[in-house]
Amino acid sequence: MVASDESNGNKPKSKRMGAPPPNLSDLSRVEDRISFLYFEHCAINRESNAITVADDEGTIHVPSASLNVMLLGPGTTVTHRAMTAIGENGATVLWVGERGVRMYASGKPLTHSSALLQRQAKLVSNTHARLNVARRMYQMRFPQEDVSHFTMQQLRGREGIRIRRVYRTWSEKTKVIWDKRTYNPEDFEDASPINQALSAAHFCLYGIAHAVIIALGVSPGLGFVHTGHEKSFVYDVADLYKAELSIPVAFATVAESPEDVGSATRRNFRDAVYDLALMKRMVRDIKALLSVDGSDSCEKMDDHVGLWDGAKGEVAAGRSYGDEEMIEVQE
């Protein structure tokens, strides 16, 4: 199928087709949206503000304003109009290729404010503040331990011990044999069933984390524990929930001996996301991490626009400053 809005050689009309883009206030909050949907071997188009998904069995409609992440598997075609609707409604699209090779694209933020992004950049640029955020992340994962005075080296060591213990615990609970985490990122099937399930569950978790991060208007690349990658903060956020969510789902799924491990893991993961109200927690946790000193300065209005000032921090935009005292420039 050719993904095109033109037919019979006709030129596209200059007038905008379809429904007008939604107002920001009309969109669902990220924590209230459908966690993710997975499609393969189908054609995706647009009807008004809904996404249509068609295959040999028929057509379904997906309300794009209520979608958080859309995973597109092999054999999927998508039209320009569908991607426009998805982008306008702030959803994230991830293309899941064959044999584990993946690409992704993101939608627009569900906010016009850069306050959280500025806060993130400020915290990650200060060594002391960055370490405090990293400590908070580990404290959220393992609340029974006091890590308030740990160095990054100590945090990494303690995290490694904890995660190995989580794997062993779930192996004993589910009777699924566990050795170690090994997988080939270029070949999904070149791994044991439990490692396939872990890859599938972690990838869904990364997708949701990425979508929430984008929706809140912060940077996926400015991580506090992870660094140097365009999705460093995605990995930071996802790690908060692996021991509680993706690891248990993976072991429980493999214990069921499904024919298709990847598909069964995604279905079970989606149920667990709903049961744990993950997206609401994720929004709350990200905002808490970026307000580590208790500051609420990141809660500015969406349409707020100011001008930076070295002395005052910020001055009002939308006015002329030409009549103010001029600074003489000596040539």
- Binding-site residues for Mn(2+): 159, 226, 239
Binding site per annotation, positions: 159, 226, 239
Which token pair is 112?
């016009």
Let me know: does 76 contact 41? Beta carbons within 8 Å.
yes
Beta carbons within 10 angstroms of residue 45's beta carbon? 20
Distance between CA atoms of 220 and 33, rounded to whole angstroms? 20
Q: Which residues pair with 104 in a beta bridge?
A: 94
Distance between CA atoms of 52 and 202, rounded to whole angstroms? 27
Burial class (CB in 10 A: 0-12, 13-18, 19+), 244: middle
The 3-class SS string of the chain reads CCCCCCCCCCCCCCCCCCCCCCCHHHCCCHHHCECCEEECCEEEEEECCEEEEEECCEEEEEEHHHECEEEECCCEEECHHHHHHHHHCCCEEEEECHHHCEEEECCCCCCCCCHHHHHHHHHHCCHHHHHHHHHHHHHHHCCCCCCCCCCHHHHHHHHHHHHHHHHHHHHHHHCCCCCCCCCECCECCCCCHHHHHHHHHHHHHHHHHHHHHHHHCCCCCCCCCCCCCCCHHHHHHHHCCHHHHHHHHHHHHHHCCCCCHHHHHHHHHHHHHHHCCHHHHHHHHHHHHCCCCCCCCCCCCCCCCEEEECCCEEEECCCCCCCCCCCCCCC
